[in-house]
Amino acid sequence: MSVRIVESADVAQDAIVGDGSSVWHLAQVREGATLGLNCVVGRGAYIGTGVSLGDGCKVQNYALVYEPAELGPGVFIGPAVVLTNDHFPRAVNPDLTPKSAHDWEPVGVTILEGASIGARAVCVAPLTIGKWATVAAGAVVVKNVPDFALVVGVPARRIGWVGRAGEPLVADEENPHFFICPVTAARYEELDQETLREVTV
């Protein structure tokens, strides 16, 4: 395998870009960032200092992934998504002096394995997006999202469940606490309004 970094991309010398990964036009990967195997960073995307991407992540065009974000394997970040890092943003201190790096403490967004963040969604740190969850396009996420949850709106709220294939799960007609993936036929059990688990056969 090899790494593809186009000439117009700006990748810090100490950034780690895993085999099979691509960094496209005008993208910036900052100091200390780590990209796993087979990642894609699209045109104009920003990967902040020390940000970590697991294997197989895809960050689409013009997405902004601010430090100290952590992305698990297989995470999808749609076009123009923003992962924030300042819970109480200000350009200046109360006395109007410019804020420096010592005047605030960055907080991060953690996105777990297989989750997807739709185009132009905003994730307001600090929070965690659960495994295989889906955040709809344009949503504004201000609290943690459970594993397999489908969240939409401003502020984002859960309207259903999704499986590993990404499509909404269908309720089992014989047992309303169980859901079925229409793609893979995998079964899931709803333990409560915030908890869904895969059923192993």
Q: Give the three-state DSSP class for 171.
A: strand
* Whole-number Cα distances in Å, 12 to 5, 29, 43, 128, 193: 11, 6, 16, 27, 43
Tell me, yes or no, whether 58 and 75 share the same domain: yes
Tell me, yes or no, whether 11 and 81 share the same domain: yes
The token pair at 113 is 């394995």
Q: How many CA atoms lie within 13 A of 176 on its CB side?
A: 2
Q: Can you give the pLDDT at residue 201?
A: 59
Q: Can you give the pLDDT at residue 103?
A: 83
Tell me, yes or no, whether 138 and 196 share the same domain: no
Tell me, yes or no, whether 57 and 148 share the same domain: yes
Q: 18: domain range?
A: 4-162
Q: How many domains does the chain have?
A: 2
Tell me, yes or no, whether 157 and 167 share the same domain: no
For the chain, 201 residues long, give each residue's pLDDT as a single digit of tens: 799 999 999 999 999 999 999 999 999 999 999 999 999 999 999 999 999 999 999 999 999 999 999 999 999 999 999 999 998 899 999 999 998 888 889 999 999 999 999 999 999 999 999 999 999 999 999 999 999 999 999 999 999 999 999 999 999 988 889 999 999 999 999 999 899 999 975
Tell me, yes or no, whether 122 and 84 share the same domain: yes
Q: Can you give the pLDDT at residue 104?
A: 86
Q: Give the three-state DSSP class for 140.
A: strand
**CATH code: domain of residue 97:** 2.160.10.10
Q: Can you give the pLDDT at residue 66?
A: 98
Q: pTM score, two decimals? A: 0.95
Tell me, yes or no, whether 150 and 106 share the same domain: yes
- Cα dihedral 85, 90, 91, 93, rounded to 10, equals -120
Tell me, yes or no, whether 156 and 103 share the same domain: yes
Q: Which of 147, 162, 177 is the last residue of a domain?
A: 162
Q: Can you give the pLDDT at residue 173?
A: 86
Tell me, yes or no, whether 89 and 170 share the same domain: no
Tell me, yes or no, whether 180 and 109 share the same domain: no
Tell me, yes or no, whether 145 and 75 share the same domain: yes
- Cα dihedral 148, 34, 63, 22, rounded to 10, equals -100
